[in-house]
Amino acid sequence: MKIQEISGKTGLICLLGSPVSHSISPLMHNEAFRLRGLDYAYLCFDISEHEMEEAVSALKLLGARGFNCTMPDKIRMAELADELSDAARLIGAVNTVVIEDGRLIGHNTDGIGYMRSVKENGYDILGQKMTLLGAGGAATAIAVQAALDGVSEIALFNRKGRSWGRAEQLAAKLNQDTDCKVTLCDLEDADALAGQLKESVILTNATSVGMASHEDSSPIRDPRMLREDLIVSDVIYNPRETRLLAEARERGCRTFNGLYMLLYQGAAAFELWTGESFPLEEVKEKYFQ
């Protein structure tokens, strides 16, 4: 592995969370710093939720420029931030922090990453309806950013379990604070799903159903619901093609996975820390094929 030159002035940016050792963020950000000639280094620190406050104080003391945080720290970080972006406030979770004069400014770039991936895949969904599956971290970030960006309606589906109460709160908040109309439905209700899909331009799976080790499952039990002109996307990128995406492709739908969401959430964070554009093409070619 190539180690870039570290000087006495090198700025620190890092990832906090647990686990973090598998993360692609150090590779993509350090390569981007090198390509842009920026004197920063990006490192990973395995930090549990209850160590978060102490870790954040230490980063302030050390003069770090900022950091990412991953689960389970994203929600705790929203409480620790001095200021929140509109998206981070509505999501109630932070994945990117910029430290400005000792103040912690919390952002959430996951939804930005998804919305940008829609655009970069060649689609315009603003002013139209989306069917979104899930009510966890990824789904919440996507729902909020889609509503802020101008998607006109979201049909939000989750099973009636762990996240249902949170999904109800999310729908109520978005209906109140944005111009987007959000309807919450039970993922087990096949008629509701078929009905909402008929009116939607895009279906987004933001549940973890279909990810590696559960590759034979799909959140859509009957693929006949997937009409040919529906765009079908999955936030999962491992495997690259989930069962949902494979079945959608077989039915003639245009599909894309979560790889570019990951890339563009990182690009947005990089731009917040450095004020410079992210070297997209080079990083995409090296790490996101």
Question: Which residue from 20, 91, 154, 211 is in contact with ligand NDP, where contact means CB under 6 A?
Answer: 211
User: Which of 135, 151, 180, 245 is in the footprint of ligand NDP by CB under 6 A?
Assistant: 135
Q: Which residue among 89, 137, 225, 231 contacts ligand NDP (CB under 6 A)?
A: 137
CA distance 206 to 76: 22
Cα–Cα distance measured from residue 43 to residue 62, given in angstroms and rounded to the nearest whole number: 14
Shortest Cβ 47–ligand NDP spacing (Å): 17
Give yes or no for residue 208 binding ligand NDP (CB under 6 A). Answer: yes
**Quick one: tokens of 54?**
């102490």
Q: Candidates 103, 162, 198, 286: give the one binding ligand NDP (CB under 6 A).
A: 162
Residues 163-192 that bind ligand NDP (CB under 6 A): 163, 187
Q: Show contacts of 221-224: CB within 8 Å, 24+ apart.
A: 221/190, 222/190, 222/194, 223/247, 223/248, 223/250, 223/251, 224/251
Q: Is 136 near ligand NDP (CB under 6 A)?
A: yes
Does position 138 bind ligand NDP by CB under 6 A? yes
Residue nearest to ligand NDP (CB): 136
| Of residues 55-84, those binding ligand NDP (CB under 6 A) | 71
State the DSSP code for 194. Answer: H
Catalytic hit among 74, 129, 173, 284: 74
Tokens at 35, concatenated: 């390509």
Determine, following the binding rule CB under 6 A, whether residue 236 of this chain makes contact with ligand NDP: yes
The span from the first CA to the last CA of the chain, in angstroms, equals: 20
Look up 173 and say whether it is catalytic. no
Q: Is 209 in the site for ligand NDP (CB under 6 A)?
A: yes
List the one residue from 94, 265, 269, 278 that touches ligand NDP (CB under 6 A): 265
Quick check: 110 binds ligand NDP (CB under 6 A)?
A: yes
Label the pairing between strands 96-100 and 103-107: antiparallel
- What lies within 8 Å, CB to CB, of 49 at 6+ separation is 72, 73, 76
| Shorter beta-carbon distance to ligand NDP: residue 64 or 138 | 138
Helix (H) / strand (E) containing 86 = helix 86-91
Chain centre distance of CA 220: 21
Are 111 and 136 spatial neighbours (Cβ–Cβ below 8 Å)?
no
Decide the pairing of beta strands 231-234 and 181-186.
Answer: unpaired
Q: How far apart are CB 161 and ligand NDP at their closest, in Å?
A: 4
Q: Which are the catalytic amino acids?
A: 74
- Binding residues for ligand NDP, per CB under 6 A? 71, 110, 113, 134-139, 158-159, 161-163, 187, 206-209, 211, 219, 235-237, 258, 261-262, 265
